Amino acid sequence: MAAKKRKKPRKRKEIQPVFLLAVLPTALACLILVIAKFNFFNKTVPTKPVPPYEEVYTKATGLREGIRRIDYAIYGSFYKAGIHEKNVAFLQVVPRGQGARIWDFTELSVRCSDPNSALHLQKILSQDLAACGSEITFRREVDSRGNVVFHVFAKENHTHKIVLTSGIQEERREDGSPKVAIIIDDLGYDRTLASSLFRLPVPLSFSILPFAPLTEAIVREANRWNAEAMLHLPMQPREYPSVDPGPGALLLSMNENEIRKVLDEDLSRIQGAKGVNNHMGSSFTESREKMAVVLKELKRRDLFYVDSLTSNRTVGFKLAKKMGVLTAQRSVFLDNDLTPEAINIQMERLLSVARHSGAAIGIGHPHTETVRALEKYVPKLQEAVEVVAVSELVN
């Protein structure tokens, strides 16, 4: 019987180097294209870094911590003494500055039911302030009306004035509910946070940076939600150029024509803007000459101006009044300190200013912590005040 022939093994076809050289660039290009498309449609993080928000406390971290401890001590004392929030009136919250340090000076009045209650609060407040540490000091005095006044200092900076009054006093009467407007500054870097803010059931005002990566998209969304849009106008800060206000900024070195040109370009980016407030600008807003150019242009365009009060020497609000520009000024920054307790204190401060003055303007920023705080405060805002767009508070 003849032996079977063994099949020869099939010879493997080798891939020629020439073929690899021809195919590899095309395959690599396709892979790069797929990755690029995926990144484009799933992009959530901007390529540009988010700039610093407001100037307040940017350099004075120790001062910020001192003010936080003072605020906690004050509110803790009120709680221990049984002081109702309606008996706390914030008379003013205004910026003060010394060198590179900028902080909000707070003056408040506390109404106690009788002299014994005032004495009890005085004792608790003294103990709680003394427990804040050696960098926090205070002095007490009695004013011409017999009220006890606390002057509180953080690192020798006068930060708080607290007036304790006693006896029944007539409630301040207002025509209708107190009004509160909340501006969200520095939009243009995070669409998710912006969308969360647009969905809140209270009418916020949205101040958008002119040349942020997502400016155009957020302006469209603001218009879609019929929300009040503003230009968050970058202006030169005291620490310039080490602190950069970003593209589209007005600088003191600019002449009148240059200021008009930059302002026109900035406004063209925020379609439907009703008004303007300053981003940074602690140096620019102190210049009467430069601010007059800006305000004259805003008046010509029938736009309002809200002074963010980043300087204790700003001329913006008073000059706008003098020139007949619809204007207002910030009452409270809501979130320079992002701890929940600190934002709660600022929200209560905003409500107190509104109760005392009839109206108040808070400025917040697109932080997750700010969104959560506003969500939490919506019921109280709707019950205690009338929340309006800031255009309703300018005059």
Superfamily of domain 179-392: Glycoside hydrolase/deacetylase (3.20.20.370)
Strands (DSSP E) found in the chain: 88-98, 101-112, 136-142, 148-154, 157-166, 179-187, 205-208, 228-235, 275-280, 304-307, 327-329, 332-333, 359-364, 386-387
Report the chain's mean pLDDT, rounded to a whole number.
88
Would you identify the CATH topology of the domain 61-166?
Beta Polymerase; domain 2 (3.30.460)
What are 97's two structure tokens? 């500055």
Q: What is the mean pLDDT of residues 123-144?
A: 97
pLDDT confidence bin for 56, thresholds 50/70/90: low
First-to-last alpha carbon distance for the chain, in angstroms, is 116
pLDDT per residue as tens digits for the range 154-183: 989 999 999 999 876 545 545 679 999 999
User: For the ranges 113-117, 296-300, 373-377, which has the lowest average pLDDT?
Assistant: 113-117
Matching CATH topology for 61-166 and 179-392?
no
Higher model confidence: residue 294 or residue 95?
A: 294
pLDDT at 82 over 50: yes
Higher model confidence: residue 157 or residue 16?
A: 157
CA pair distance 224, 218, nearest whole angstrom: 10
Is-contact 176 355, C-beta < 8 A?
A: no
Is-contact 218 191, C-beta < 8 A?
A: yes
Indicate the domain borders of the chain: 61-166, 179-392
pLDDT confidence bin for 115, thresholds 50/70/90: very high
pLDDT confidence bin for 62, thresholds 50/70/90: confident
Phi/psi of residue 340, each to 5°?
Answer: -55, -40
